[in-house]
Structure 1
């Protein structure tokens, strides 16, 4: 049995690795990113997502205190989350849209997804993701409700990433996703549990169930599309999955807010 101090060190190392994997925070793990270390640390992605969500919520709260409208506060909150992640997931979404929408062959699609330039599909995808999330946050409006929605969205969107990586094979032998490796079942289970916990505590059982169902459906559709078109998933596909998750959860939170 692993000593408690060693277990704590491993947990902290995984948390730092997960945070450095999806944010630009200077928290690089002391654990070498080899031999599947990144894959094992994916259980901590929802925790890293919670940090991102709290950052956006803090900006929204401050903006509201200064008298800005919900629309402006929401825009600043989205800017904060994009800044803290280095727009990593937005970049993945744009590349996915360009590759899956623009290429005719598998090889060409993968080539487009590796191209740093952005095309029409990518621009449209970015407009949609920012527009939908901005509208949802502005609709929710109340700073506390926005905090809960952002925390739930960012945690749950990343909670499904390990399962997606485990169930959908890498589309190519190199690249971010392939180098990270396949998350073990334990990491998938912990991440999934943390995601459900975040959804339930933040939104309540009803919204959590609706969000979980819709997020699962979105993931299944993306997985099917990726397998059919490029043979599996890439780092860009994972970024697109995260963005879809954010959109779904925020829209669920906004829809229930309007129904009150």
Structure 2
């Protein structure tokens, strides 16, 4: 059990960030399940770095510039892996092709028009939302919490009953690795964290609850669509679910 937790932590940190960490000694579905569950906490250092960096820059720069720099920093500290998955997923699902052909499109290294437009829209929503939050008291904490909460999408994509579209890759390892009850528990924890951040930044704790519901729902819809169209999830779908969940959480928090 101890080895599984350690390997899961290492897998989460090594996959979600550029922070140096020893590679896991083994990677299987149980280790991937642990990685998915701890992913919001494993990502917390990056989220806090972006939030605190934005707090400092907001004192000397316009919030729009600060927001763009914050999202850019997150992309750099994650090797833009989730954004790559978002673009590939958009190209695959947007192609309208059968599952086998759509998966081939997602395997290619190039980005098509659907991927480009999706990146522009999702990143634009994230930047605009961060700009709205950055000027508020404790806004940096709301942003950091939202960024970490978006990684909770991994437990939704990896919950039991969701198949893998391919026999290899991250999708095959993470698919059906998280019990549904545990996935729900992760999001209850995230809802609590977001509620605290929303209370501090906007004086409306219930916005945090709504933000958690929005993020989880958007991730669930994407995973369901991918499962129906692709016959399962892939590593790209995992990344895409993180980005759309993050956008959903941020948008709701700006309502305060």
TM range (shorter): 0.7 to 0.9
Deviation at 1:181, TM superposition (A): 5.0
Displacement of 1:141: 2.9
Q: What's the offset of the Cα at 1:25?
A: 1.3
Q: 1:117 is paired with a residue of what secondary structure?
A: coil
Contact 1:214 1:248 in 2 (8 A): yes
| 1: CA distance, partners of 2:237 / 2:24 | 28
Deviation, 1:190, is: 5.1
1:199-218 equivalences under 5 Å are 199-204=194-199, 205-218=205-218
Relative to 1, partners in 2 of residues 1:40 and 1:139: Cα closer, same or farther, differing over 3 Å?
Answer: closer
Q: For residues 146 and 4 of structure 2, what CA distance do their matches in structure 1 show?
A: 26
The separation in 2 between residues aligned to 1:165 and 1:238, in whole angstroms, is 8
1:25-174 to structure 2, matched below 5 A, reads 25-34=19-28, 36-65=30-59, 67-142=60-135, 144-166=137-159, 167-174=161-168
Higher deviation after alignment, 157-166 or 74-83: 157-166
Shift of 1:169: 1.4
Checking the alignment, whether the CA contact within 8 Å between 1:152 and 1:249 is kept in structure 2 is no
Counterpart in the other structure of 2:229: 229
Alpha-carbon distance between aligned partners in 2 of 1:56 and 1:134, rounded to the nearest angstrom: 12
Q: Which runs of 5+ in 2 are unaligned?
A: 200-204
Tell me the C-alpha RMSD between the 2 structures.
2.2
1:187 Cα deviation after fit: 5.2
Shift of 1:14: 3.4
The answer to whether the 8 A contact 2:150-2:243 is kept is yes
| 2:190 corresponds to | 195
- Displacement of 1:35 in angstroms is 5.9
Q: Give the total of aligned pairs.
A: 249
Q: How much has 1:86 moved relative to structure 2?
A: 0.5
1:161–1:30 distance in 2 versus 1, CA, 3 Å:
closer
TM-score (norm: length of structure 2): 0.87
Query: Aligned equivalents of 1:28 and 1:187: distance in 2?
Result: 26
Report deviation, 1:161.
1.4
Q: Any idea what SS the aligned residue of 1:110 has?
A: helix
Separation in structure 2 between the aligned mates of residue 100 and residue 107 of structure 1, nearest angstrom: 11
Structure 2 contact 54–66 (Cα < 8 Å) conserved: yes
Cα shift at 1:184 = 3.8
For structure 1, the residue ranges without an aligned partner over 5 or more in a row are: none
Q: 1:60 to 1:210 in 2, by over 3 A?
A: same
